[in-house]
Each structure stands twice: as C-alpha cells, then as structure tokens.
Amino acid sequence: MATLLHLDSAVFPQGSTSREVTAAFVAAWREQHPDGQVVYRDLAAAPLPHLDASAVAAGAEDALRAELSAELVAADAVLIGAPMYNFSIPSTLKAWLDQVIIVGHNAGPEGPVAGTPVTVVASRGGSYAPGTPREDFEFVQNYLEKVLSGMLGAEVDFIVPELTLAHSKPEMAELIPLADASRTRALADAAEKAKTLAARLAA
C-alpha cells in the first residue's frame, strides 16, 4: 500500500488553482490506488513555526522536525501545491522545507528521500516561461528543483498552470483563452501523472 504525502500552501481555500489541480491529482490517485494512503497537510490553515535556533540545534531530536521528517521519509510519493507569491513560494511552504530538511538525517543523494517522486503544482498569475518578458523572475521552479532534488535527491516533476489572474485582471482579458487552456492542460496532466505514478508504485 503506497502512501502519498499531499501539501497545499495556497492562502485561499476556495478559488485556488493550485488546490484545484492537486485535488485532481489526489482524486485520480485514489481512483487508481484505492488502498493507498494519503497524508494531508494544509500549510495555510495550519502553518508551521519558522525554524529557530533551538530546533536547528536539536535537529532530528526536535519533536516537530522528527514528525515532519517521518512523514516525508514514509511517503512513497509527494504532492506539493506551490502557488507563486511575490515571485517565490509561500512562506508557509518555506517553513515546512526548513523544518523537514535535516542535514545528516534525511538529506543527501543517498538519504532516505532519494528517488522519491515529488510532483509540484507551481501555479502563477502570469507567465514566466522561457522567452517571456518575466522569465528571469521565475524563482519557484528554480528554487524547488534545487532544494528537492539537490538537497533531498528527490525525483521532481512540475505541473505549471499559468495566467491564473486573467479572469480577474481586465488588462489580461485577452489572455483568458490561454489561461483556460493552461488550466485544462494542468488538470489533465495531474490526472495522468497520478494514475501513472500510482500504477508504478502498486506494481
């Protein structure tokens, strides 16, 4: 029985594209793998404390860090909703990363998380794709790829729904068709990736 660790970090519980796409992923995962377990953390509804000196000094002996690390290590797959806020990830997600990554305990290319598939839903209000005017403002994928792959050795994959503000920003109205297409593609990608991953882990 495979375990999926699911994290959401979008501030709003309703109307969030990242939450919509992670929900589609989980629904497909459950359909494909009904005996699997889903461990869920809503980092916006129940934010974690920022890392402090005592927690750093305690490392894996800190109760919260040990709990978070155990969840991560026990997961056969990880799903992270990571909307772009001010060109980066939500501070609640950064707090989780700071708490859960413990050098000498679960980090490193030979660590217990190495090879774990991590799917990140990196939604954003505009577009920061290669070749766009704001390409160099993209710090979500760049950062998460480095920290999840480089520090934990995880196998990282991204789903990127773009232009999520098109329906609410009059100046972006002409981009609505592209926004809708991006959302549709993201939902389909989430379902497909979840089914493929669940089948792979169940094999």
Q: pLDDT tens for residues 145-167?
A: 999 999 999 999 999 999 999 99
43 has pLDDT over 90: yes
Average pLDDT over residues 121-147: 95
Provide the mean pLDDT of the chain: 95
User: Do 187 and 24 meet the contact criterion of CB atoms below 8 Å apart?
Assistant: yes
Collect all residues with Cβ–Cβ distance below 8 Å to 152 and sequence separation of at least 6: 101, 106, 107, 108, 111, 113, 114, 116
Separation of alpha carbons 95 and 43, rounded Å: 9
User: Do 149 and 119 meet the contact criterion of CB atoms below 8 Å apart?
Assistant: no
Rounded to 5 degrees, what angle do the CA atoms 22, 25, 26 make? 90
Separation of alpha carbons 92 and 104, rounded Å: 23
What DSSP line would sit under 65-124, residue for residue?
A: HHHHHHHHHH-SEEEEE---BTTB--HHHHHHHHHH--TTTT-STTSTTTT-EEEEE---
Residue listed under structure tokens 């920003």:
169
Burial of 149 per CB tally in 10 Å (0-12, 13-18, 19+): middle
pLDDT at 34: 87
Separation of alpha carbons 198 and 105, rounded Å: 27
Separation of alpha carbons 71 and 100, rounded Å: 9
Rounded to 5 degrees, what angle do the CA atoms 100, 31, 123 make? 50
- pTM for this one? 0.96
139 has pLDDT over 80: yes
For residue range 182-203, list pLDDT tens digits in order.
999 999 999 999 999 988 888 7
